[in-house]
Amino acid sequence: MSDQLGLLTQLIELFTSSVSYGERLDNFVHLLARNLNFDLALFFVLEKEKQRLLLNTSSQGPVSPSMLIVFPLGRGLVGQTAQTREHLIAYRDDPEIFPANRPLETIYPDFQTLASFAVADDNFLYGVLLLVDQKRRKLDTATLKLIKLACLMLAGTIRQALRHDETKKRIAELSGLFEIGKAISSTMELDALLERILSTAAKVINARGAILRIIDEQTGLPRVASEYGDVFETSACLLTSKLETAVVSGELPFVTTSLPDLQGHLHSYLGVPLNFKGHLKGMLCVFDKMSEALEFQEFDAENRQLLFTMAGMISSSIENALTFQELEALAEKNERMVRVLTVLQEISWALMTTVRMEKILDIILNALTLESGLAYDRAVVLLVNENRHVLKAVKGVFRKTSPPTLPLREALMVPVEVRAESAMEKLLPRLQIPLQEDKGILARTVLQKKTFHIVQAEQDSRVNQELRQAYDLQEFVSVPLIVKDQVTGVIVVDNQRSKRAIRDNDVQILNMFANQAVLAIENSRLYSTIEANNRELSLIRERMLESDRLAALSGLAQGMAHEIRNPLTSIGGFARRISKKVGKNSPLRHDVEVITQEVERLEKLLREVLDFSGVNLGYYEEHDFNQIIEDALTLIERDLMASNIKIAKDFALLPNVHCDDRQIKQVFYNLFQNARQAMDKGGTLTIRTYPVEKSDGLYAAAAVSDTGGGIPLELLHNIFNPFFTTKEFGTGLGLSIAERIVSRHYGQIEIINELGKGVTFIVTLPIAKYCLIKTAEDQEAQP
């Protein structure tokens, strides 16, 4: 009895001690075996699946793998006890017992007595205690009670231990989840977040590494891929494909699989789905679960559960991070856009400061090439010439100017110097592209009214290969300048030196820029047209005023002519009569001749100043140029013949000129008069007419040549000055009047002086239909 009490005391001491569960079990079997005087005490533990009982602890020492004894439920004494929960005692000689219990021979060949006791509490069976002895033993009731009590205590301690384990696991799980929770709230930055999530998940599960994949549902491609630990490429690929199919089919409770690495070692994987409330789906996967002793372990249901829970927690935070990333990208894009818009605004401002084409072109080229602008390496502006149906290069920048120290606004206004250093720069002014589809991208840009972004010029059949070689074109953009649905020009840019790729966004910006540029160009054109028209109008106004003045003046002079001419006629007439009547030797003769000559001079003055330039100013009509010259010639023919001057005419067939025929008649009369006076000893007057094409239209020309020996050089610059004359009898007004009349007709009068030969005056007058149609555009076309 005292023995039993001693055992009980020892058992209580054992179960209340602080030693571990395994140690308690060891001590328990040891105590029982020693105190009850049994050779051996064994504890069989019931597996989790509750189908088999495994030898767990022996009073003889540690249980090695070779000592593995298993009893299925219901088999052998241990199995029966487990099933019935009743204690059983059996002997070796019992024929019904021995075969089933034979496995025990492996550890104790000479067993005679076997006594098994269920280790269970009210609810659960935890295992079976088996006492073994080589003697035939009987157990009295008190001993049986004691053993049952001991088993009950053991069950209690096992339950406690299991609960303890469970609690520890829960705590581990919770702290794992806490770690995950900490991880997901630690950062909004996606990469950092994923790294922390994966490392924490792997640590919590005791896995060697973790993989995370998120599939973009729309494209079906991995959108996010993050890894922790050593991931084998093949495994990652396999996982991804497995994941994709699973995600697409919508069935992915979990994936546990084993995949070999390159060395043939098997690795186990556990994957759970990540479901987002949006359209994203993915998978979180851990691999290579390791025990504390660094042994590979299988993932179990608890691991799965934990991973599920974690997946639920992280998915929303990943989604948040993704949204945050998108927002950040959007913000960045916005910021870029704002910068671009600011640049465009600056450019727009600069373009508004001027209407001068040259300045606008400079601003455009600066805007395209400045580092603080659109920063292209090269830029060329070409404009369409409607008349010739070609695209013509106007100006280009082929190298970056020095880094801008000026603010963009000011840098834009710096004049662009055209330096013809390289062959390309020298070629540029002559670059003309006929507007035909097969003449390359630039012609197409005009004809199709759209932007071309050529990435590989060499491989593109649409590119004009000659041009490509001449200008070393690779990637380039050709943007049309469109106003009122008309292409007025093309901007071409590239990054020939830096080879910086041109993005779609850049092309968009270029198009926006082109819209601004073309408005400025158009403004400038309109302005210069208006300016030219204004000039034209004020010129016409000036001339009309002058005409009015002259008309008024001549009206006055006309009245005076009548008044003066009558008395002059009688004074002169009578003087001549006197001269005839007085004898040749009369002393009066000389006096009378002075009167005659002076009157003649006055009459001539009247003729020259008044007879032609006076009335009929401004009767501009279409006239036959040749006929006017003929008419003028008739007026002086008699004088010419008298001076022994031959006339040579060579008239071409000409369109009508727009003029006041009387004034032009005077021009030629004056020129003929001038020629006659130059050839006082006779000669030849040559008159030739012919058409002339000038930049601003078609002209009729008449060349009047004399053989009078030319004008001395020192006098030449004076000949069109009024009142300059070399003649004894001359007003000096003839050529001056002629010059004024011709310029009033938008014509020109030129002089070709050949000393020793003669003088040729060339008068050009605009052909009627070209007259006054001098638009600004024409002037622009021929700067």
Partner 1 sequence: MKKILVADDEMSIRLLYSEELKDEGYEVLTAADGREALDIVEKTPLDLVILDIKMPEMSGIEVLRQIKEKNPNLPVLLSSAYSEYKQDFGTWASEEYLVKSSDLEDLKAAVKRHLKD
CB of 603 closer than 8 Å to CB of 611? no
How many CB atoms sit inside 10 A of residue 300's CB? 13
Q: Determine contact, residues 671/737, Cβ cutoff 8 Å.
A: no
Which residue in 600, 622, 696, 778 binds partner 1 (CB under 8 A)?
600
> Do residues 19 and 158 make contact, with C-beta atoms less than 8 angstroms apart?
no
What minimum distance in Å lies between the beta carbon of 628 and partner 1? Answer: 13
The radius of gyration computed from the CA coordinates of the chain, to the nearest angstrom, equals 60
- Tell the smallest beta-carbon distance from residue 589 to partner 1 (Å): 17
Tokens of 649: 């005419």
Closest separation in Å from C-beta 566 to partner 1:
5
The span from the first CA to the last CA of the chain, in angstroms, equals: 134
Nearer to partner 1 (CB atom), residue 389 or residue 607? 607
SS3 category, 655: coil
Token duo for residue 516: 């601004």
Structure tokens at 437: 């589809």
Closest CB to partner 1 among residues 532, 568: 568
- Smaller CB distance to partner 1: residue 484 or 580? 580
CA distance 106 to 115: 17
Figure out which of the listed residues 610, 692, 698, 716 binds partner 1, where binding follows CB under 8 A: 610
Which one of the spans 387-395, 402-410, 556-564, 754-762 is the region binding partner 1 (CB under 8 A)? 556-564
Cβ density class 696-722: b for 16+ within 10 Å, e for less:
bbbbbbbbbbbbbbbbeeeeeeebbee
Nearer to partner 1 by Cβ, of 392 and 576: the residue is 576
Task: Identify the CA nearest to 574 among candidates 594, 589, 590, 596.
Answer: 596
Nearer to partner 1, 258 or 634 (CB): 634
Tell me which stretch binds partner 1 (CB under 8 A): 136-144, 350-358, 598-606, 707-715. Answer: 598-606
> Does 603 interact with partner 1 (rule: CB under 8 A)?
yes
CB nearer to partner 1: pick between 57 and 663: 663
Nearer to partner 1, 614 or 758 (CB): 614
Q: Which one of residues 460, 591, 611, 780 is an interface residue with partner 1 (CB under 8 A)?
A: 611
Nearer to partner 1, 36 or 628 (CB): 628
Binding of partner 1 by 667 (CB under 8 A):
no
Among residues 345, 616, 644, 721, the one that binds partner 1 under rule CB under 8 A: 616
Whether 495 contacts 502, CB under 8 Å? yes
Give the bridge partners for 246, in sequence order.
none
Among 85, 419, 607, 717, binds partner 1 (CB under 8 A): 607
Quick check: 495 and 375 in contact, CB under 8 A?
Answer: no
Q: Which stretch binds partner 1 (CB under 8 A): 101-109, 349-357, 586-594, 597-605?
A: 597-605
Contact pattern from residue 467 through residue 496 relative to partner 1, giving x for each residue in contact according to CB under 8 A and a dash for the rest: ------------------------------
CB of 747 closer than 8 Å to CB of 765 = yes
Does the protein bind partner 1 through residue 138 (CB under 8 A)? no
CA distance 619 to 130: 145
Of 6-45, binders to partner 1 (CB under 8 A) are: none
How far apart are the C-alpha atoms of 157 and 415, rounded to whole Å?
96
CB of 594 to partner 1, least distance (A): 13
Q: How many residues bind partner 1 (CB under 8 A)?
A: 27
In whole angstroms, the minimum distance from the beta carbon of 769 to partner 1 comes to 27
Q: How far is the CB of 665 from partner 1 (least distance, A)?
A: 10
Please, which residues have CB within 8 angstroms of residue 220's CB and are 6 or more apart in sequence?
A: 244, 248
Of 94, 63, 59, the closest CA to residue 76 belongs to 94
Taking every pair of Cα atoms in the chain, the longest distance, rounded to a whole number of angstroms, is 205
Tokens of 40: 């051996």
Distance, CA of 272 to CA of 348 (rounded, Å):
57
Quote the least distance from Cβ 652 to partner 1, whole Å.
Answer: 26
Q: How far is the CB of 584 from partner 1 (least distance, A)?
A: 18
CA distance 201 to 229: 12
Minimum distance, C-beta of residue 593 to partner 1, in the bound complex (Å): 12
Q: Whole-angstrom Cα distance, residue 347 to residue 412?
A: 7
* Cβ proximity to partner 1, 310 vs 575, nearer residue: 575
Shortest Å distance, C-beta 760 to partner 1: 29
268 versus 558: smaller Cβ distance to partner 1: 558
Residue with tokens 């009688």: 570
64/483 Cα distance (integer angstroms)? 94
Restricted to residues 207-246, the positions that interact with partner 1 (CB under 8 A) are: none
Of the residues 599, 617, 685, 765, which one makes contact with partner 1 according to CB under 8 A = 599
Closest CB 756 distance from partner 1, rounded Å? 36
Q: Closer to partner 1 at the Cβ: 526 or 552?
A: 552
* Residue 635 three-state SS: helix
Q: Smaller CB distance to partner 1: residue 579 or 725?
A: 579
Helix, strand and coil in the chain, % to nearest 5: 50, 20, 30
Q: Give me 574's structure tokens.
A: 């009578």
Task: Name which of 170 and 604 has its Cβ closer to partner 1.
Answer: 604
Local structure of residue 599 (DSSP, 8 states): H
Binding to partner 1 in span 157-176, by CB under 8 A: none
Reduce the secondary structure of 541-560 to three states and give it as a string.
HHHHHHHHHHHHHHHHHHHH
- Measured from the CB of residue 556, what is the shortest distance to partner 1 in angstroms? 14
Least distance in Å: CB of 572 to partner 1? Answer: 2
Stretch that binds partner 1, among 31-39, 102-110, 555-563, 744-752 (CB under 8 A): 555-563
Residue closer to partner 1, measured from CB, 578 or 716 = 578
User: Is residue 663 involved in binding partner 1 (CB under 8 A)?
Assistant: no
Round to whole Å and give the CA distance between 223 and 225.
Answer: 7
Stretch that binds partner 1, among 120-128, 203-211, 519-527, 606-614 (CB under 8 A): 606-614
CB of 615 to partner 1, least distance (A): 5
Looking at the Cβ atoms of 453 and 576, the one nearer to partner 1 is 576
Question: How far apart are CB 569 and partner 1 at their closest, in Å?
Answer: 4
Question: Of 367, 348, 378, 474, which is closest to residue 411 (Cα–Cα)?
Answer: 367
Spacing of C-alpha 470 from chain mean position = 25
Q: Rounded to the nearest whole angstrom, what is the least distance from the CB of residue 632 to partner 1 in the complex?
A: 13
**Contacting partner 1 within 557-596 (CB under 8 A):** 558, 561-563, 565-577, 596
Between residues 536 and 611, which has the closer beta carbon with respect to partner 1? 611
Contacting range for partner 1; rule: CB under 8 A; set: 123-131, 314-322, 600-608, 769-777 = 600-608
**Residues in Cβ contact with 741 at an 8 Å cutoff, skipping those fewer than 6 apart:** 613, 663, 664, 666, 667
340: Cβ–Cβ under 8 A, 6 or more apart, which residues? 509
Q: Is 601 helix (H, G, I), strand (E, B) or coil?
A: helix
User: What is the nearest approach in angstroms of partner 1 to the Cβ of residue 678?
Assistant: 24
> What is the C-alpha to C-alpha distance for residues 139 and 150, in angstroms, rounded to an integer?
15
204/628 with CB nearer partner 1? 628
Which residue do the tokens 């070209």 mark? 770
C-beta of 619: minimal distance to partner 1 in Å?
A: 12
**Tokens, residue 440:** 């390359």
Nearest-angstrom CA–CA distance, 98 and 111: 10
Near partner 1 by CB under 8 A, which window of 185-193, 206-214, 248-256, 609-617? 609-617
> Which stretches of the chain bind partner 1, using CB under 8 A?
558, 561-563, 565-577, 596, 599-600, 603, 607, 610-611, 614-616
